[in-house]
Amino acid sequence: MARLTQDELLHVFHTLKNELKSYEKGPVKARFDMEGKYELVSEKENIVALGKSRKEMDFSALIIQSGYVGFYFMPIYCSDAIRLQLSSNLLKLLKGKSCFHIKAVDDALLTDIRHALKVGFEGYKKLGWV
C-alpha cells in the first residue's frame, strides 16, 4: 500500500474527529483541538486504582502520524470486558496498548469505532469517571 497523502490523512482525521466530538460534553473536554491533534479528557476528579485521586482521565485522542492516524482509546485499559466488546477487525489495527493505526475509513470501520466509543464511555460512566 502506498504511503498516504496529507489530504488522505486529513480526511481520516476529520472523519474520526466527527465521531469523537459527540463525546465532548459535560466533564469530557477537548484538551487539544487543532489540525492533526484532537484529545478528549474527562475533567471529573476521580479515584482510580489503589485509592489514588486523579484530576482528569484521558478518554480518546487522534494524532496524525507520518503514515496513519493514531486513534488512542484509553478505555481499553479499564477492563478486559471493554476490550472483549471490540470487533476483531478493529483489534487488528491495534498496534500497542491503546493505539489503533487507521489508514482508511469505511462504513464498517466507522461502525466499529462508534461501538468502541459507546462501550468505552459507558465503562467510564460505570466507574464514575464521566
Domain boundaries, the chain: 6-127
pLDDT in tens, the chain (130 residues): 578 899 999 999 999 999 999 999 999 999 999 999 999 999 988 777 777 777 888 999 999 999 999 999 999 987 788 999 999 999 999 998 999 999 999 999 999 999 999 999 999 999 888 8
Q: Which three cell numbers stand for residue 4?
A: 498516504
Model pTM?
0.92
Closest CA to 71 of 6, 130, 108, 18: 18
